[in-house]
Chains A and B, each alone.
Chain A
Amino acid sequence: MSEFAVELRNVVKRFITPEGHEMVAVDHVNLQIRHGEFFSLLGPSGCGKTTSLRMIAGFELPSEGEVLIDGQPQGKKPPYMRPVNTVFQNYALFQHMTVFENVAFGLEMEKVPKEEIRRRVGEALEMVKLSGMERRRPRQLSGGQQQRVALARALVKRPKVLLLDEPLGALDLKLRKEMQLELKALQKEVGITFIFVTHDQEEALTMSDRIAVMNQGKVLQIGSPMEIYERPNNRFVADFIGETNFVEGEVRSMEGEWAQIYIPAWGRELSGRAGPGLQVGQKAWLSIRPEKIRLLDEPRVNESIQGRILDVSYVGADTRLFLEVSGVRLKVWEQNRLSSLEATHFYRAGDAVYLALFRENVLILRRE
């Protein structure tokens, strides 16, 4: 067994658009996906995540670079020669076959004996909790059930890697949440490497061991959900995953992992964790998550900044405030730890507040 389940080496994919322009869908992507890992490709639509997945499956061939599965270069191998299987976005269930025939199809292609096919299809359907549905047609199933058939159909082949192309996109929110947990449990159970494509950041955070964030054909950051959320490499990642406040500034000094940034709008320097590639004198972003800004009623700490509340909305778990701080707008989320009905004070639009930006919560990111 080689070190990685799937490896992409400097993979480029170019398309010619119908208008005749060349478009780079995947731009020098390098990925190393470990055995047994739940790996997500996350990004907005058109970022190249689906194209990357399709190149692993063999539906597209890279214009440059190489795709390796279990250490084997795939070259121009057609999909039916690759040890991976796909769960399609629209499930792509064969409408002219029953559930059983759909799941058995891949095994028949391997010329597995009839008896074994029956056994393995039975097991696969049991695994996705669809026992007893063998004779139904895909059309007679609900969206969630079709999704499970697609899963069983791919998993019954015992692929080295399972590729999932936004498989939960067509389900409603509640079902999607259920399926997220189920999929994750299933992956732990079967121990197969999953590569999961999604544009839903929450989905990726919930399910993945590691996430690669993509935009405009490039991989911007690879890391665990916590790393991606807490230590985004650049503004795009910080913005795409969760919500973030950005304030323009200039790097004044750096010391180890810390940096000082000067914010012209506020006429003061603040301290924060330095992002990658930062240089003194460079323009930069001060970035801080809305839930990590502390609100104070009075200027207690030296570093506290005065602002004014523009708007308040109560959303249950927390209260979301929109502040204006010397011409800069900031979002702040205060968790409602006490019942809001019993709280001793309320935030009101127009009130003055003080806020503290602790340097552990501040990230200073390069401005490109």
Chain B
Amino acid sequence: MNPYQRSWFVRLATILVYFFLYAPIVILILFAFNASRTNITFQGFIPYGERLVMEGSLVRASPCGPFHWFCELAKNREVTHAARNTLSIAFTSTLISTIIGTMAALALQRYEFRLKTFSQISLYIPIVIPEIVMGIGILVLFTQLFSLLNSLLGLSGDARLGLGLGTVTASHIAFSIPFVTLVVQARLHGFDKSYEEAAMDLGANEWVTFWRVTFPMILPGVLSGALLAFTLSLDDFVITFFTTGPGATTLPIYVYGLLRRIITPQVNALSALWVSVVFLAVLAIQRLENRQV
């Protein structure tokens, strides 16, 4: 490292920007332990107690102690339901988009076929257009499709087809595929075709070559693609917002709805949990990537 490359200006700016990034998160987490129910000023931590003791808007004691709001969160039916939806959507869409995206990456990196350019362009579109455009498009498609089907099949009442978990999951798969493909393609690009050629030279067919040679080598890429898809799905707000229906509320949608009305420490508790999950997920991704080197 040369002495003339890091000035005090860059150091100072770096510290300030990190502060800017983290101060809101720290405040968010701190207020998850607030004794005040209105959550306006920080009124100290909540002590342990046999029973819940309230005094006006202050919590004087709770069986969960400082983690009072986390316990409340766990008891909140709407939250647990939204959490279950979020996770089931994330797991399903990750599984499917990882498989499909990996196949696409293989096709684009190792094969020549018709519609290749078209496929590549269509995979780039979700990255360069605003999410809301895709969300609106899917909403328009589903409303038109469902109203057509409902009238064709003569469905009425509860039997009518509508937006719900299925439409959200399908949309998540659609926007995750390009990202999985990009990550796996980068990994495939990194290693030489000659490994596969060697396997085939030694008598392995495409199927065996893939499972015995290619897949083990791209596995870290597939896993980080899957983690990326999972985080994208957990995190998504815009597309979910337009494709969700009754009973298919996810956590971001629930929080958004809440924020337009009230502010409670429960949201902070949820945020604190969320940050911890992200922390662990990012740690896992970095570990994976380091192993790739």
| Chain A residues close to B by CB (< 8 Å) | 59-61, 78
Contact = CB atoms under 8 A, between A and B. Distances in A.
Interface string B3-27: 1100000000000000000000000
A78 B4 CA distance: 8
Size class of the B contact interface (CB-based, 8 Å)? under 10
Main secondary structure of the interface of B (DSSP, over half): loop
Contacts of A61: 3
A61 B3 CA distance: 9
Contacts of B4: 78
A78 B3 CA distance: 9
Contacts of A78: 4
Contacts of B2: 59-60
A229 to B, nearest CB: 37
Contacts of A59: 2
Q: Which 4 A-B pairs have the closest CB atoms?
A: A78-B4, A59-B2, A61-B3, A60-B2
A264 B70 CA distance: 87
Nearest to A76: B3
4 contacts: A59-B2, A60-B2, A61-B3, A78-B4
Nearest to A60: B2
A75 to B, nearest CB: 13
Nearest to B3: A61
A60 B2 CA distance: 7
Contacts of B3: 61
A356 B234 CA distance: 85
B293 to A, nearest CB: 15
A59 B5 CA distance: 11
B160 to A, nearest CB: 60
Nearest to A78: B4
A61 B4 CA distance: 11
A50 to B, nearest CB: 15
Contacts of A60: 2
Nearest to B4: A78
B4 to A, nearest CB: 5
A153 B2 CA distance: 22
A265 to B, nearest CB: 50
B7 to A, nearest CB: 13
A316 B258 CA distance: 89
A67 B15 CA distance: 37
A78 B7 CA distance: 14
Nearest to A59: B2
A60 B3 CA distance: 8
Nearest to A54: B2
Interface string B106-124: 0000000000000000000
A221 to B, nearest CB: 31
Interface string B235-273: 000000000000000000000000000000000000000
A299 B4 CA distance: 69
A78 B5 CA distance: 11
